[in-house]
């Protein structure tokens, strides 16, 4: 904010799409997150190396999108998606 401009909330159209990237291969996960971060309309809000971490991140960050590897250790994608779907829609405050 500069020179006495009134504070304003970002509209939905101005808010970046938030993303969590989950993959058990660190190099791939980090590369995908880095490429997504190059777009100013996208904000990567977290990375997970397994399904359990992905569920915890989704619960904490409530992203718009989850990029989820189908085959991960500890908790697979299907189990993770079932748990994420139980969280319900994101509620902005």
4-16 confidence digits (pLDDT tens): 555 555 566 689 9
3-class SS of residue 39:
coil
- Specify the DSSP class assigned to residue 66: E
Predicted model pTM: 0.75
Asked whether the predicted pLDDT for residue 63 surpasses 70, the reply is: yes
For residue 25, tell me if it sits in a domain: yes
Q: What's the rounded Cα separation, in Å, for the pair 84 and 54?
A: 9
pLDDT at position 75 is 72
Q: Count Cβ neighbours within 10 Å for each residue of 54-78 and write b for 16 or more, e otherwise.
A: bbebbeebbbeebbbbeebeebebe
Token pair in block for residue 60? 């904490």
pLDDT at position 80 is 78
Q: What's the rounded Cα separation, in Å, for the pair 33 and 28?
A: 9
Domains identified in the chain, total number:
1
CATH number, domain of 34, equals 3.40.50.2300
Structural domain of residue 47, as residue ranges? 17-86
For residue 1, tell me if it sits in a domain: no
For residue 54, tell me if it sits in a domain: yes
């Amino acid at each position: 904010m500069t020179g006495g401009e009134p504070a304003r909330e970002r509209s939905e159209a101005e808010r970046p799409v938030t993303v969590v990237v989950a993959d058990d291969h660190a190099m791939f996960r980090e590369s995908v997150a880095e490429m997504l971060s190059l777009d100013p309309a996208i904000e990567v809000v977290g990375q997970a190396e397994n399904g359990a971490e992905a569920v915890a991140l989704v619960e904490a960050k409530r992203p718009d999108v989850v990029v989820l590897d189908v085959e991960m250790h500890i908790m697979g994608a299907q189990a993770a998606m079932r748990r994420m779907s139980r969280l319900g829609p994101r509620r902005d405050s």
